Structure 1
Amino acid sequence: MSVLPVRPEPHRRLRSPAQPSESLRLSLLGGWSLHEDGEEIAVSSNGQRLLAFLALHGRTQRDVAAGVLWPDSDDQSALANLRTTLWRLRRRVQGAVISTQHEVELAPRMTVDVDGLVAAGRHLLHQECADSPADCAQIGRDLAAHEPLLPGWYDDWVLAERERLQQLQVHALEVAAERLVQSRELASALEIAQAATLVEPFRETAHCAVVKVLLQQANPAQAIRHYQRYERLLSRELGIEPSDHLRELVRPVLRHR
C-alpha cells in the first residue's frame, strides 16, 4: 500500500516564554468556530475565511492571500479587502494574526484542530511506528472521530484541502487496521476498517480491509453482505462495479455457497 504524500505542515513560529499562552482555539472540522479561553468569538465571514486560509496554508504572501480570497476583484481591490479584514480582526480579537508589509500568518497563540488530525494521520503512516495494538486502535478511533473540513464551504481552496485531509485520514485508518490484523486484534481492526469506509464510502481499499477482516474472523456471511452493499452503492451512485481484486476476495465464499 503506497503512502499518500502530504503537504508539509504550515509554518509555525517558535514561542518564547514571554509570549501569551495558547488561549485562542480555531476549529475548522465540522464547522468554523473561534474560542478564546473557552468563550466563543463572533467573526465576520471575511475574517472567518482569512483565518481558515492561514490555518491551512501557513505564512502567505499578502498578494497571494488576497488573490485567493477575493478572486473576482482586481489586485488593488483584493489587497484593500485584505487590509480591511485584518483591521476588523484586530478590533474583534487581539493577537490572532501577524502581518508584515509583505506576509500574513496566524499568531503562535492560535491552535487549530486540523493540526491534530494531520499529526495523528502522519503518526499512523510512519513506517517505524511502534505503538501497542491498544494505542494504535485508540489513535485510529480518535482520528476517525474528526469531522470533514468546513462542510458547506465550496471555495476551490477549501475543496482541495478537504480532499487532502480526507485522503490522509482514510489512508491512515487503513494502515492502522492492517497493523491490528497483523497483531491479531481482529475486533479492533474491523472497527477501524469500518470507520475508514464511513470517511470515504466509495474508497475500495477501505472496503477490502473490512472484507479481509471479516473473512479472517470466519464470518463469511457478513463479508458477503458487506461486499454486496458496496456493490449496490457503486452501481447506484457511479454505475460501475467493484474491481477484480475485491471480487476475488469473496469469490471462493460465493462459489462454496
Structure 2
Amino acid sequence: MEFSVLGPLRMADNGRPYTPTAPKPRQLLALMLLNANQVVSNSTCIEELWEDSPPSSALSTLRSYVLQLRHSLGKMPRIGGLMTARHVLETRHGGYLFAVDGDALDVDRFTALVGEGRRALHQDDALASSRFTEALRIWQGTALSDVQQGPVLRARLVGLEEERRSVHEQRIDADLRLGRHQELLGELSRLTAEYPTHESLHARFMVALYRAGRPTQALDVLQRFRTVLRDELGMEPSSRIRGLHQAILRGGPAVDMPGHGTASSTAGVEDPYVSRTPAGPPGRPTGALLSAGRATGLSTGCPTRGSVGSPPRRTTR
C-alpha cells in the first residue's frame, strides 16, 4: 500500500488509486496521515474540518466521514474489507488513529532519508548529499496541493515546507564542500530567482560563482540582492553577507574551497566553507572575520534561522 502527502493526496494499492474524492473525507484523511500512528482527538478533527464554525452535528458528521474512509480502505486488496479497515483507521478514546506500517507513507520515507543524511554530514558529505537528493525526490510538488486545508493542516504544512527548504540548503552545503560549485550554478540561479529576498541562497550562489572563477558575477548577485531588499523591504543586507562581499573583493583562501590552506574554525568548530587567512595589520579583518560560512549564515550543516529575506511560507488554501 502507498500513502502520499508530499504532493497530491494519494492512497493506492498495487498502483491503483483508492483515494476518496469528497472534499471533507480527503481533508480528514490528510490530517490522519500527517499524524500517522498517533491519536488525533475529535476536537482536533472538528477544528480542522470546520475551524471556528462547527455545526451542531459535527461529531456525528465526523463519524460518517470516518466510515467513508474505512469503506475506501476496505476496497484495497491488501486490506480486503471493512472489518480489517477498522484496524487501520482505529477508534481510540476521544479520537482516531491511522496505523501505517513500514515505508508505506511518503513523509516517513522522507524523514528517514533526511536523518541518514544529517548523520553523515561532514563525515561523508557524498553520502549526505545522496540521501538528501533521494529525500527531495520523494516530493511531487507542494504538499497536499489538491486538498482543502483548515488551521491544523496549514500549520503542519508550514513546518513541512520549512523542513524541505532546510534539507535543500543542507544538500547544497554538502555539494559545496565536495567542490561541486560548477554543477550548482544553474540550480542556485533558479532558486535565487524564485526567492529574491532569501539571503543565504544568494550567499551560496556568490560562493559557488567565486569558486567557479566568476567573482564579478558573484558581486553582481549581491548588488541585485541589495537592490531588491531596498526596493521591496526597505532593508540592507546583513553584516554576514557584507562580510562575504569583502572576502570576495580580497580573494584568496577566505572563500577558496576547503583544503586550500588550513581549515578555519570558530571556537573549535570547523567552518566547512573557508580557509584561514594570515593575520593582517591592526584594524584589518583577518580570516576569522572574513569566514564565508559566518559571513553568510552558512553554518556547519543548518542554515541560520531568521536571516533576512527567508522565502515565503507557502500554504495552499
TM-score, length-normalised on structure 1?
Answer: 0.72
> Following the alignment from structure 2 to structure 1, what is the Cα–Cα distance between the partners of residues 50 and 201?
38
Contact conserved, 1:174 with 1:193, CA < 8 A, in 2? no
Which consecutive unaligned segments of at least 5 residues does structure 2 have?
Answer: 75-84, 252-317
- What SS class does the counterpart of residue 99 from structure 1 fall into? strand
| Matched residue, 2:63 | 83
Task: Map Cα deviations across residues 127-154 of structure 1 (whole Å, 9 max, x no partner).
Answer: 7674452x33333333444232223645
Contact conserved, 1:170 with 1:200, CA < 8 A, in 2? no
Contact conserved, 1:186 with 1:213, CA < 8 A, in 2? yes
Higher helix share: 1
| Matched residue, 1:125 | 118
2:29 paired with 1:51: yes
> Following the alignment from structure 1 to structure 2, what is the Cα–Cα distance between the partners of residues 192 and 211?
13
> Following the alignment from structure 2 to structure 1, what is the Cα–Cα distance between the partners of residues 7 and 68?
25
> Following the alignment from structure 1 to structure 2, what is the Cα–Cα distance between the partners of residues 221 and 33?
47
One of 4, 14, 25 as aligned partner of 1:37: 14
The structure-2 alpha-carbon separation of the partners of 1:182 and 1:77, relative to structure 1 and needing over 3 Å to count, comes to same
The structure-2 alpha-carbon separation of the partners of 1:125 and 1:205, relative to structure 1 and needing over 3 Å to count, comes to farther
Q: Which moved more, 1:173-182 or 1:226-235?
A: 226-235
Contact conserved, 2:32 with 2:98, CA < 8 A, in 1? yes
2:91 paired with 1:99: yes
> Following the alignment from structure 2 to structure 1, what is the Cα–Cα distance between the partners of residues 119 and 186?
21
Identity of aligned residues (%): 22
Task: Map Cα deviations across residues 97-135 of structure 1 (whole Å, 9 max, x no partner).
Answer: 2223433122325822222333333333337674452x3
Contact conserved, 2:89 with 2:97, CA < 8 A, in 1? yes
Q: 1:200 Cα deviation (Å)? A: 5.5
| Matched residue, 2:177 | 182
Q: 1:178 Cα deviation (Å)? A: 2.5
Count of residue pairs the alignment pairs up: 232
One of 202, 208, 220 as aligned partner of 2:203: 208
After superposition, residues 131-210 of structure 1 pair within 5 angstroms as 131=124, 133=126, 135-145=127-137, 146=139, 147-151=141-145, 153-188=148-183, 190=185, 197=192, 202-210=197-205
The structure-2 alpha-carbon separation of the partners of 1:255 and 1:188, relative to structure 1 and needing over 3 Å to count, comes to closer
One of 105, 119, 136 as aligned partner of 1:112: 105
The structure-2 alpha-carbon separation of the partners of 1:231 and 1:142, relative to structure 1 and needing over 3 Å to count, comes to farther
Q: 1:38 Cα deviation (Å)? A: 0.8
Alignment-mate amino acid for residue 66 of structure 1: I
The structure-2 alpha-carbon separation of the partners of 1:105 and 1:203, relative to structure 1 and needing over 3 Å to count, comes to farther
Alignment-mate amino acid for residue 11 of structure 2: L
> Following the alignment from structure 1 to structure 2, what is the Cα–Cα distance between the partners of residues 215 and 205?
15
Q: Higher Cα Rg: structure 1 or 2?
A: 2
The structure-2 alpha-carbon separation of the partners of 1:168 and 1:107, relative to structure 1 and needing over 3 Å to count, comes to same
Contact conserved, 2:176 with 2:208, CA < 8 A, in 1? yes
The structure-2 alpha-carbon separation of the partners of 1:229 and 1:116, relative to structure 1 and needing over 3 Å to count, comes to farther
> Following the alignment from structure 1 to structure 2, what is the Cα–Cα distance between the partners of residues 198 and 155?
30
Q: 1:209 Cα deviation (Å)? A: 1.8
Contact conserved, 2:203 with 2:241, CA < 8 A, in 1? yes
Q: 1:196 Cα deviation (Å)? A: 6.2
Which consecutive unaligned segments of at least 5 residues does structure 1 have?
Answer: 1-22
Q: 1:48 Cα deviation (Å)? A: 1.0
Contact conserved, 1:170 with 1:199, CA < 8 A, in 2? no
Alignment-mate amino acid for residue 44 of structure 2: V
> Following the alignment from structure 2 to structure 1, what is the Cα–Cα distance between the partners of residues 56 and 104?
31
Alignment-mate amino acid for residue 114 of structure 1: V
- What SS class does the counterpart of residue 31 from structure 2 fall into? helix
State the superposition RMSD in angstroms. Answer: 3.3
> Following the alignment from structure 1 to structure 2, what is the Cα–Cα distance between the partners of residues 154 and 228?
39
Q: 1:52 Cα deviation (Å)? A: 0.9
> Following the alignment from structure 2 to structure 1, what is the Cα–Cα distance between the partners of residues 195 and 113?
18
Contact conserved, 2:11 with 2:19, CA < 8 A, in 1? yes
Alignment-mate amino acid for residue 198 of structure 2: R
Alignment-mate amino acid for residue 134 of structure 2: D
Contact conserved, 1:177 with 1:192, CA < 8 A, in 2? no
